[in-house]
Structure formats: C-alpha cells, structure tokens
Structure 1
Amino acid sequence: MTTPQLALFALLIGVVLGGSVALVVVASYRARDRAVGQASTGLPDGVRDVLAGMDDPAVVVDASGTVVAASMPAAAYHFVERAVLPTEELALLARAARAGTASAPVTMRLDRGAEQRAVSARARAITSRLVLIVLRDITEQERVEQMRRDFVANTSHELKTPVGAVGLLAEAVDSAADDPGQVREFARRLEREADRLASLTSRIMSLSRLQTEEPTTLRDVAVDDLIAAQIDAHAAQADSAGVRVMRGGDRGAFVHGDLPVLGEALGNLLANAIAYSPSGSHVGVGVKIEGRVVEIAVADQGIGIDESDQERVFERFYRADQARSRRTGGTGLGLAIVKHAVQRHGGEVRLWSQPGRGSTFTVRLPLAPPPTHRAGRAARRSRRRTRRSPHGRNPPHDPSADRRG
C-alpha cells in the first residue's frame, strides 16, 4: 500500500473513532440531563405564573408531600410553601398521580379557617416528582343539593296528608249517600282539605318563584299603603280570633320593590301573629325609619317561640308548634317565604321572642326617597341643563329679546 493510501486510511479511521467518541459524549450528557431532570424538584417555567392567576386553591407538592408552591386562595386552607399536606387523603391522591394512576376528583372535608368546607380535589403529575393538586369548594353546591332533596321529600310528605284525606272523604261521601246530614258534614270537611291543599300548593309555587333568578318588577311602594292593605285583608281573620290589629310608628316611608311579593311577606307575618295570639290581645304593626333603612315590625302577645326553635323557624316546612299549626292549617312555608322575599329586596328579617310573652318579627328594607323628591331632583337637573349651552356655558345674549313685548 502506498503512502497516500495509508494516510487516507488513517484519516478515515480517525474520523470514525472521533465520531464514535462524540456520540458517546453526547449520549452521556443527555443521560445526565435526564437524570438531573428526574431528580430535580425545581418548578418548570411558568408554573408560578399559572398559580398566581388561579382563583381556586392549588398547590404543587414534591415526592415527600411538601408544598413547593401554592396559589393565593390556598392560604385559606393552610397550604403554604414548605408545609406538609395536612391530610392522608391528599397524600394518597398525590402518590396516585405521581404513579400515573388516573383518578376521578375526590370529595373530602378540609379546614378553612375555623370552619370545615367540602372540596373536590384533583391531582396531576407535572414532572416525575412534582404533582399539581387543585381544589374546588363545593360546600354551597352540596348545601343546595341537600336543600333540593329535603324540599322534594318534605313536599311529598306534606301533600300526602291532604290528598289522602280528600280520597277518604270522597269514599265517605259515597258510602253516606242516603244520609244528607252526613253528606253535608263530609262535604264541609272535604272543602277544608281542598282549601288546605290549594294553600299548600300556592305557597310552594310562591317559594319556588322567589328562589329563581327571574327578574322582579320593581316600583315605588308606599309602606303606609302596604300595611293598610294587609290589615284590611286580614281583618276578617282578626275579628274571628278576637284580636285587635293596631298600627303605629313613622309615616311616609317608601321602599323600592315588588308590591305583590312584599304584600305576601307582610301578610304572612300578620296571619301568623293573629293565629298565635290569644283572644282579647292585640297585634301591633310599627314602622321606624332609621337612617337609610325602614323597619316594619309585627309584634304579637302570643305563645312565643323557644330559643332552640328561633334559628329554624325560617326553614321550609318547619313548625315550632306542630299541633297548633295543624289546627290552624299552617303549612310551615310562611316564614320561609318572608325570608326569601325580604332577601330578594336587599333586606333582612330579625326575630325577638320569649315563650309566654310573644314574638316580634322585624323586616328591614332599604329606604327609598319619596317619588316626588326624585321627580323634583330630576326637574331641577333638567332646568340646569336647559340653562346651559352645548358647551356648558350660558347662552349668548339675544338683543332681539330686549325689543320683545
């Protein structure tokens, strides 16, 4: 082999060896980078920015269950950096995500401040060692769902009694067809049960309407007219019960609201006060203007409400005195309607009661200025606008005006 051929062969061998060495070096660097990446607990770029923009509580934890980063809302659940996950449920969820096990959201209870909240937790691995856990507060959702279930169950139970009574009385009327006196008695009882069923159905529908997001027709409502109308509407009930209804307090107050809804709420309070007052007593309806709030108080001298029942009297179908409610035809929905009606108008209902001394329900609503005042202000603004030119100055003097008349 000649010298040039030997040189070319040596060069070829050098190139092959150099390329092999370079490939080995590159492969070793890549393996090292992968090992470093797998062992690293550093956050990938952008994770903190994502956490900062989240409205839900979210944390990133490492293999030991220690919080590496957290969103601002997570602080309410005591998730702070370098803290350990507070529950074993969350630790198990993180380990399952790190192992690549897909899991559905897990519902659990976590402390938020001094209260426990129901949360739905979901975890997903973002590296081989880091796991992102996102929490969603479902406490209100669970409460609403429980209310829906209770409402359906209670409604079914309440409707079962009058419907069953109507069926039995219908059979009794049929069996007593030859006895006109019995037929008339059963017919009267049948009418009472039908009225009770109609009242219950009407109140259920009213409460359902109040709990929807349907827009409310608002207008200026004179509190004096509202009270007078409801006192007149319940005059027959008061006369039958031997109860005197008295009106006192401030005059001339206005609220901005839905007149039928406010009338039903006040009517329910009056009906309850009369029904639970002894004969010969009186029911007072008082109005007080306090700053930007108008208070309408309905006070009775009745049996009162035990302290243990006062927190629950506004619940649907709750009756503090079951026997008396049955006798008076109470549905257990009147105060629930009052509460939702007042809340819908931006107000609140307060209760004071002592057994044997009576009860006072106070409705607090935002005070509205009288319509004449608003009309006067609008007229004054209109006059000010007409006295100004389009440029905001007084109009130029018209010399011809000096020669008129």
Structure 2
Amino acid sequence: MENDVNNEFPFTGDEQYDKVVKTFYIIRGISFTILFLLNVFQTYFEFRSLYRKGRKPTPRFFTFVSITLFPLCRGIQSFLALGFHNSRTGSSSWYFGIWGTLFLSTEWIFIGCFWVRLLYTFFSSKKIALDNIKKTWYSAWGIVVILFAWNTILMILISQYDSQYVASISGKGFICMVALLGTFLIINGFFLIKNLKKQDKKSKTFQKTIKRTIRLSSILIFIVLGLIVREIVVAISKISTSSNYRYAAIFVTFILEFPQCIVVMIALADDGTHWKNYFLLQKVAKDSNSSGGSLNDNNSNNKNSNANLEIDLSSFNVDNDSSSVSKSKSQILKSENPSRQNSQNPVIVTQSNVSISLSTNSEQPLRQSQPLDENQQVIDIKDNNNNNNNNNNNNNNNNNNNIINNNQ
C-alpha cells in the first residue's frame, strides 16, 4: 500500500501502520528538538567567548552552529510530516529534510577541517606550514558553498520536474557526496590518529585526545557506510516516493543520525565530565584562554624533560585582505621545561581553542615580538643548544604543562 494524504489513514493506508508512523515521527521530532535546545545554548556561549576576545569564528564554533541547525531542521521536518501527513519529495517536510542533511554535512566538514588543519600544518613535514591553516579553512568553506548550491539546484528542479526524477537525482548526488567527502575525512582522521600516537603517551589528557578522535572517526565510518548502503538499497529496489517502504529508510536514517549527534556533543565538551553542562545549560567548553588540559601529567615533570615551544594557533587568524596568516601582537613563542633532549615532533592535545606544543632541544626561552610578514609562512623546527639555566629554572616554577585547545 502507498500513502495518500487525502485518505483516512494518510501515511500508510492502514490504521495500525499509521499509528506506528505517527509514533515514530513524534519520537523523532521530540528527540531532535531536545538536541537543538541543548546545543543552541552552547552555540551562544561559544559565540560570546569569541566576541569578547575579539577572535574570528573557528571550526569549533561552526561545528556548534551545524549541530544546532541540524536537529532543528530534523525536528521541524518530523512535525511538518506529522501535521500535513506528507513527507514525500517536494513536500514542506522534504525541504527541511534536505537542509537538515546539509547541516549534518557541514558539521563533519568543520570537524574534518580541524583534523586536516592539524595534520597538514604540523605533521605533513618537519616544518610547521602555517599557510595550510588558511588553505584548509578556505577549502572547507568551498565545500560548504558547493553543498548550498546543490540544495538550491534541487529546489529549482522540484519546481520543474516530477518528484520521482528529483528523488533519483538527489539520491545519486548524495551517494557521491557521502562517498567522496566521507572517504577523505576518514583517511585523514586515521592519519592524524597515527601521527598523534607517535607523540608523548604519558599524558592522560593526550590519551583522551586520541580516543576522542578514534571515536569520531569510527562513528563517521558507521554513518558513511550506513547511508551508502541505504541509498543503494533504495535505488536497487526502485522504491517510489509514495511507497510505505520508505519509512523503513527514514527509520534507518534516524538510527544513524541521532547517535552521531550524541558522540559529537560529548567530543565538543572539555575533559570527560563537562558534557553534563549541556543539561545544566552551562558552558561545556572552557574559555579559549584557559589552561584546561595539560600535555604532561604532574608526575612527568622531571629533569630529563625536553624543551617545548608553545604556539597559540588561535592568534593566527585568516586575513581575507592579505595572503598571509596574521599574528596577534601579543603572541609569544616560548620554551619551557628545557631539560628534555630527545624529541623534535609536535606534541598535541585538544581542548577548547588551539595552541600547539612543539618539542625542541631549545634550552633558552624564545620570544618573537614581530608579526609574521607575507613571506614568513613557515616556522622551521631547529635545534637550539644554548644554555641558560637561570631563566629556565624560573620557567620550570611556573607551568610545565603545554596545551593545545581544540577549536572544533
């Protein structure tokens, strides 16, 4: 049987099945509405923090925006389908559905932007390629623009062609997008994990970072494979836009989408306990200038620790009017804990903003007070064997923990 909006039982043509579909839409709508309400406060907190510090939006902020708009669209989609008894291609419910899918995509695009930014800025070579920060940022927005254009094309097509044809075009385009973008993000995610595992393994915070990235990569694999299989089954079965079998596809989509929201929300929360602040309507992410996490545990502060060069990426902003990566005047590159001697790899831990610790052999505090010029796009990691123990002893009494805050 097929649904008929003018029928007594408009969803399926059967009274019992209609009750099941209505119950599903109610549960789906309420579930996503709750996620929207929990995330809208966090988006506000993140915006307020960036605004007060005069910083430009980060991948972390736009991940919050996306994970707020995605459940909003899904909730509205469910309630419209329930109210108008119609969720077929071209219905008002369908319009919110395609925009919900877009914001689900942008959510993972900005998570991937953060992964790729770390990977190609700090691990692609022995140099820190600051110019890659700008490139990954622009690339992410380029993909977002393409997705917005694709949705616009679909809305134009639905006004010119029948719903079955548009559904076919939409399904094929969706498979291509999920396959290409998903594969790219998964590969880079696991490359990032591989490089992170090569770093200092003593820090509990660092281990949490690795586990967090593994969880996100794993759930991304689950989503990509699930959505591709779903679309292939629908295409092979030639399910019409009014067939009752499409409710099974909608249910599978809900099973894929809802858990990933929970995983991403937990990943966006600092440490392992701040996720509770979602329900307390408090900030789950620490202020971007806070020392919320540490690279080394307290017991790892020994005399044989190597120097660390701390770079705060949050001060390196993308300048739309310049080909360079701008640097705040107050940025200081400094080395701490100078007695460790053997590592030259970047050491990274994710928290609420971006700062990077680079292990060097430097034993003297390095300060850079001049802004980077247009040609100074790369900082070379070199050994500096100067000995200045008096200054270093003062540094050791301050803070031996170097931090990178996650700007997802």
| TM-score interval, normalised by the smaller of the two chains | under 0.3
Q: Greater relative contact order (Cα 8 A, min sep 6): structure 1 or 2?
A: 2
The structure where helix makes up a greater share of residues is 2
The structure where strand makes up a greater share of residues is 1
> What TM-score do you get using the length of structure 1 for normalisation?
0.25
| Higher alpha-carbon Rg | 1
